[in-house]
Amino acid sequence: MTDVSVAFPDSLLTALRKAPHEAAAEVRFAAAAHWYQQGVISMERAAELAGMSRPEFIEELARRHIDVIVVDTEDLRAELKDV
């Protein structure tokens, strides 16, 4: 796995009341959730990026009121058209 370094101003960490490792975990989860919602990565990859198991990732998405299942509306329309 490749490490990526992101600098946070100390004032931001203080305002967020987060330790550096907590902020890093939050950024990993946010990126994973965003890319999963956009369809860029699978749920499996998103969970891996977030440092969670798949069930933990699903639970965290639900806790944050983020859609767990991402459905493309055009794909859904095409499927329903044939029903």
Q: What does pTM read for this prediction?
A: 0.79
What does the CA dihedral 5, 6, 9, 12 come to, rounded to 10 degrees? -130
What is the token pair recorded at 15?
């305002």
Q: Cβ(60)–Cβ(50) under 8 Å?
A: yes
CA 63 – CA 57 distance, rounded (Å): 10
Q: Which CA distances in Å does 13 have to 9, 18, 24, 32?
A: 7, 5, 11, 21
Give the H or E element holding residue 37: helix 20-37
Model confidence pLDDT, tens digit, residues 12-71 = 999 989 899 999 999 999 999 999 999 999 999 999 999 999 999 999 999 999 988 877
